[in-house]
Structure 1
């Protein structure tokens, strides 16, 4: 059983992740904290409330960062809809929230339950960086920290990668996270999530199941499908955040990984978190900052994970 603290910028795939975690018998959602990203923090907290009410899940909910450590927030309303859940007009009333903000809650839970909880970060890493300012040893007190973000090692020449949005939204916070001491830090990046596809057949299977959870999961997909059809010419989506949850619960979904230092680097346009290795395992051709080892996932059993995801939500 994994007892999980979820930090989320609750867009469509974040909502799917909460549904997936709630349906897994080996997972317990301990608390959920909000952060900006896929939508504003205000919408993220409302979406947490909406999804937890749908699930009948009563857990502490805490408000987190509304903007990055530096600069304005970049909100991906063009991907997830302005409200983060596809602009379908759901009644997303504010949930009851904890008195303490998300960073303080992350610190308190880690100190009250050392080695017992897993931290799953699905959005920009601002809340985690703010929590590290309060307790620099924070990650040593979580059983593991698993984040959806990063771009893996440097790709083969000529390879293009999907935007590394959670890192790009707050590169300063990401640098603090990858530099912090930890028990186990796992990076599930766009190098693997972009290839883990919920295709037409899987979407049809979800719709056919008719359960309230599956019905909600497919209802909110349209905005996401509208965006990704421009990427692939098909109405299919990558399971970014759900895959990170799957790797946390069942590490065998990852079929290859490398442990090594991760740096956050910009190219003048975008920031990415990269394992400081080329695709063939060599160091990059420039100096880089030393950092404690991060487990960087480089390959996954995408078919098996997608089948599990569909089965859990349809059940």
Structure 2
């Protein structure tokens, strides 16, 4: 019997969020609900996309709750240049006819954590505004959540939206700092490891040539993403940022980890939004994953196993 993981997915559904939903649906994610934030697209568009993708993988029962429309302390920025005007690669998918659930995202995260203390894994693959708001609403949230997996940060390497910052953290640094400071077991799956998930030409060919409806849908969504990476990286490929976070939430044994003391740069200079981890060998490593300001980062992954599981989730 397949083991399942009860989780809340907080997302900003663009292309790699969609691929993470495909991954989770096939590999044991028990989606209790999805909450949506601003990020890749405006929050209303992201909520509709999330419903559409859940329906596409047969998860018609999973509710979607709309959340923050903008960051705490800066203007809204979106990334249609990466994900297409509709957030799904301009694929013009038929939209779900389901309704967005009435309660707001942060309140619903708190409500579910209270109903199921110690049971839920919180997977955040967009900006962290909803999670920050939930922490403000419920001071005991960190004790109620089993563990947290965030796709975010670029510890020790250059960023992708600025020289120092990764996009999800940069989109709301103040919220990200709340997440770092919360006394819970939080894993940041950052660019320092997600950039090792680049799909090979052979992997892309398996998706393109598959007759499985999941692969055909994914290929339609991915075309715009491949175009973007070809322009920016010089190679027609896709980086599986969000699917890796989902994979490590479901199967932590795919990676090796280390604890670091960390903070988010909140100044108004060019390093704003950088997730800074103390990597100095001369400083003792933290030992308590639930201490304030301590996060996990990923040292290495079994990339071959991850890629195979990703392709399997698409039927490729």
TM-score normalized by the length of structure 1 = 0.90
Decide which of 263, 274, 279 is 2:276's aligned counterpart: 274
Separation in structure 2 between the aligned mates of residue 22 and residue 281 of structure 1, nearest angstrom: 43
Q: Give the secondary-structure state (helix, strand or coil) at the position aligned to 1:13.
A: helix
Q: Give the secondary-structure state (helix, strand or coil) at the position aligned to 1:198.
A: coil
Structure 1 segments unaligned to the other structure (5+ residues): 284-289
Q: Give the secondary-structure state (helix, strand or coil) at the position aligned to 1:48.
A: helix
> Counterpart in 2 of 1:166?
168
Structure 2 segments unaligned to the other structure (5+ residues): 285-290
CA shift for structure 1 position 131:
0.5
CA shift for structure 1 position 161:
4.1
CA shift for structure 1 position 191:
0.7
* Residues 279-300 of structure 1 deviation map (CA, whole Å, 9 limit, x = unaligned): x5758xxxxxx93421111222
Residues 1:138 and 2:132 aligned together: no
Separation in structure 1 between the aligned mates of residue 49 and residue 203 of structure 2, nearest angstrom: 24
> Counterpart in 2 of 1:117?
120
Equivalences, count: 300
CA contact (8 A) 2:49 2:88 kept: yes
TM-score normalized by the length of structure 2 = 0.90
CA contact (8 A) 1:34 1:44 kept: yes
Separation in structure 2 between the aligned mates of residue 204 and residue 310 of structure 1, nearest angstrom: 11
CA contact (8 A) 1:258 1:295 kept: yes
CA contact (8 A) 1:136 1:180 kept: no
Equivalences for 1:101-250 in 2 at 5 Å? 101-152=104-155, 154-155=156-157, 160-163=158-161, 164-182=166-184, 184-250=185-251
Decide which of 73, 89, 94 is 2:92's aligned counterpart: 89
> Counterpart in 1 of 2:296?
295
CA shift for structure 1 position 95:
3.1
Q: 1:98 to 1:307 in 2, by over 3 A?
A: same
Separation in structure 2 between the aligned mates of residue 130 and residue 94 of structure 1, nearest angstrom: 29
Separation in structure 2 between the aligned mates of residue 56 and residue 307 of structure 1, nearest angstrom: 22
CA contact (8 A) 2:48 2:100 kept: no
Separation in structure 2 between the aligned mates of residue 210 and residue 138 of structure 1, nearest angstrom: 44
* Residues 44-75 of structure 1 deviation map (CA, whole Å, 9 limit, x = unaligned): 01101111111121111101111001121110
